[in-house]
Structure 1
């Protein structure tokens, strides 16, 4: 197995970082360069990356989201933003219409581009012998983050990435059985036993953060009344009418 495949197969999330470790500027630049080289639809690059090293800004993020103290304790925190403002400026300059509010397609494109850039950053971090964790819960405070970081209309914070030197070793988390995820030629039905099998696998894995079985966690999540926070943010930022 080559080194790239080893990195990919052994990637795991870290939440405990050495607070005294200073990320070299050259390493940060390498991570950003790798992120920016990710695939992008039509080479549109519909995302922006906000690099947060300022302590006060990151303290504010933790005040809003106390379950993720690593946003402050890591060496750097990146926020990946869906960015349709850049091409809005292009349309203004070209004096053409900019019709993005009547369909979710532009949002899907921007979200996908940002996610691909994020994954490139994650693997670049691993290749440097460092660790990271993705933070999707920043969307719960998207409106506040837009104001804090002066994000213009047609941009939206999607997820963050804490980067640093891990202080606690983490095990590689088991994934769903391949038969429940990978299909050849067409989508193939699979027995529900595979889900129950994964429930047991994760219970045996014994991650302290997990208080419920995998299936119960997502049954409860999707049964809960939607908060509509993201929908409100999308309208506020003029992604949708």
Structure 2
């Protein structure tokens, strides 16, 4: 099998890292270079990457996100932010309107660009024989994190990435049945039993950090409004 495909199919998230392992500058640069070469809508590259090496900053991140201590204990933490400031500067320079609040499309473009760059970083990390975990909880305290990293208007955090040398081996997590995810030519309905079967698969997988079934976890998560701060934050950032 192609080694790149094998690597992609073997992806695992790691949350425990060797605190004595230091990522070399060359390794970090390889990850950043690979990340920056990700696909981007119209080559707009509507994102930025903040390399967080300072221990004090990382301690503050863990204070805001106590369930993710790896943000401090990993070799490096990368914060991927959607960046529409750069094109706002272009609009000012060209003396034209910047009508990004007329539609949600600019938010989707910037979020997608940042996410693709993050995924390229994950692949590069694994190619170097290291491990990582994506951290979406940076959006839970989006105003504080924005202040912590001096984010200007038109910029917002999308996700973080803890990178390091894993100390605990992880198994490859089972994914949803293909029939529930992959459709040919048109969206196709499927038997809900497939989702219940996945509950059983995940129960047998028995990841220690999971305390609920897959369906219960998301039924509970989406039954109530969450992170209402995000809307007001995006308005303050001139994005809504």
TM-score range, shorter chain: over 0.9
Give the C-alpha shift of residue 78 in structure 1: 0.2
Aligned twin of 1:105: 105
The answer to whether residue 224 in structure 2 is matched with residue 224 in structure 1 is yes
Cα distance in 2 for partners of 1:156, 1:107 equals 10
Aligned twin of 2:89: 89
Give the C-alpha shift of residue 103 in structure 1: 1.2
Runs of 4+ with deviation above 6 angstroms: none
Give the C-alpha shift of residue 112 in structure 1: 0.4
Cα distance in 1 for partners of 2:229, 2:60 equals 19
Give the C-alpha shift of residue 233 in structure 1: 1.4
Give the C-alpha shift of residue 187 in structure 1: 0.4
For the residue of structure 2 that corresponds to 1:21, the secondary structure is: coil
Give the C-alpha shift of residue 227 in structure 1: 3.3
Name the count of aligned residue pairs.
240
Cα distance in 2 for partners of 1:207, 1:35 equals 29
**What does the per-residue CA deviation read over 1:67-119, in whole Å, with 9 as the maximum and x for residues that have no partner?**
00000000000000000000000000011100111211000000000000000
Aligned twin of 2:6: 6
RMSD (CA atoms): 0.6
Cα distance in 1 for partners of 2:29, 2:224 equals 41
**What does the per-residue CA deviation read over 1:117-159, in whole Å, with 9 as the maximum and x for residues that have no partner?**
0000000000000000000000011111111111100000110
Aligned twin of 1:27: 27
For the residue of structure 1 that corresponds to 2:151, the secondary structure is: coil
Aligned twin of 1:16: 16
User: Contact 2:134–2:161 (CA<8 Å) still a contact in 1?
Assistant: yes
Cα distance in 1 for partners of 2:145, 2:213 equals 32
For the residue of structure 1 that corresponds to 2:147, the secondary structure is: helix
Give the C-alpha shift of residue 7 in structure 1: 0.7
Give the 5 Å matches for 1:12-161: 12-161=12-161
Cα distance in 2 for partners of 1:115, 1:148 equals 21
Unaligned runs of at least 5 residues, structure 2: none
Unaligned runs of at least 5 residues, structure 1: none
Aligned twin of 2:178: 178
Give the 5 Å matches for 1:156-235: 156-235=156-235
For the residue of structure 2 that corresponds to 1:160, the secondary structure is: strand
